[in-house]
Amino acid sequence: MKTIKMAFSLFALLLMISCGNDNSKQEVFDSLKKEVLKVHDEVMPKMGKINTLITELDSKIDTTEMGKSYEKAKQELEESHDMMMSWMKNFGDQFGGTIAKDSLDEKIQLLEQEDIKVNDLKEKINSSIKNAEDLLGNQ
């Protein structure tokens, strides 16, 4: 699905560039940005769950094998949380202001990369939550 979306986006971009239509480029940009933010909005509410799971796991960490499993799950959750915070800062830095018409092509390419990054982030967050919940028995 992601590959089809990326292929469509690339095709649309090439079509817009060949036509030289700035309004169409703006539409492609806006559409890609909306898709990226949609994924962000889907996983952002999970940050609270991550913090709760970190607290639960922290109380169970010890030197036993199970305790080490809890520690590893906690580290994965912390990495997921840090990835989200870092992604949001970088995204805001790149796309928070006004986009000049002459930089639309570059920004569209950057958004296509951000789409990949935010979907990877979503997978990391979901898998770290699932792992922690499985360990804690909170399915």
Neighbours of 32 (CB within 10 A): 23
Q: What is the pLDDT of residue 139?
A: 45
The string over 71-82, giving b where at least 16 C-beta atoms fall within 10 Å of a residue's C-beta and e elsewhere, is bebbebbeebbe
The domains of the chain are located at 42-94+104-136
Full-model pTM? 0.78
Q: Residue 5: which pLDDT band, with cuts at 50, 70 and 90?
A: low
pLDDT at 9 over 60: no
pLDDT tens digits along 66-122:
999 999 999 999 999 999 999 999 999 988 777 666 688 889 999 999 999 999 999
Query: In the numeric block, which tokens belong to residue 11?
Result: 């095709």
